[in-house]
Structure 1
């Protein structure tokens, strides 16, 4: 991770090329996208704007990994996928997997939720519907929005990316 994000501290002119700082797992095309200052600045407008931008989401994921709390975004994204499942059989299977991975006490990627929410979610997942995880997903979203997102905006990862895009734009206009 440090190696992939290490270019942020370099004086490279091409650091606005997202490929140099993209986290592992982000699909890369042959032509690497350039991030504009405007695009990166918009991530600070709202948490929804950040999550709706694939590069913003990737940077937020990378940031959460540095804080050892990436289970939150992974859970939220998994819930988004879960809502799109149409087959009742697949819904039951996916609900069980999500519960065992993220919700159960001592789950490998346990999200930070209160006892009441955990119990209510467990009950809802006995007969899962596409909306069974909405409440717990909303709580995790709120936690990220109120806690992780402001720290991301103040983080070295975000601030240096923003500075790099601004410096790159200034060099181009000179």
Structure 2
């Protein structure tokens, strides 16, 4: 019973620290970048707009963790990284279990070898998790607040 209650307290409706996915504040020797309310509002335009924004993706990942379904976004992100590999020999450099499951599509590996399964996972998140994210406390709290993020100046 204790475990069940602990799980319930971690659900998105009771999520209170939505700033955990934002980078930590730095000292005064930093250059500041703002996450504006307009940017947060734009995340509701489409799932792809959310995924293409650094902090939108981070917020969505934090939300999925509260719903115990972050494996979907982790897989989708791994596919995105896979597409960036240019050397054919490295395209098949995946663990044994994954290689066996996807072997047929990787017989002649290309950056698009995982597109079909990635598309299915994307669609699942877009139709299921994304609408819940837009209704979540995480997103609603972000809409109410404007954040400043600072990064160190590159010298």
TM-score (norm 1): 0.65
* Higher-strand-fraction structure: 2
1:83–1:131: 8 Å Cα contact kept in structure 2? Answer: yes
Aligned to 2:120: 139
Mapped partners of 1:159, 1:133: distance in 2: 33
Displacement, 1:154?
0.3
Q: Would you say how many aligned residue pairs link Structure 1 and Structure 2?
A: 130
Aligned to 2:98: 99
Aligned to 1:118: none
1:1-174, aligned counterparts within 5 Å?
A: 6-7=16-17, 21-23=19-21, 30-31=30-31, 33-94=33-94, 96=95, 99=98, 104=101, 121-165=102-146
TM-score (norm 2): 0.72
1:47–1:149: 8 Å Cα contact kept in structure 2? Answer: yes
For structure 1, list consecutive stretches of 5 or more residues without a partner in the other structure.
9-20, 105-120, 166-174
1:22–1:58: 8 Å Cα contact kept in structure 2? Answer: no
For structure 2, list consecutive stretches of 5 or more residues without a partner in the other structure.
1-9, 147-155
Higher RCO, Cα 8 Å, sep 6+: 2
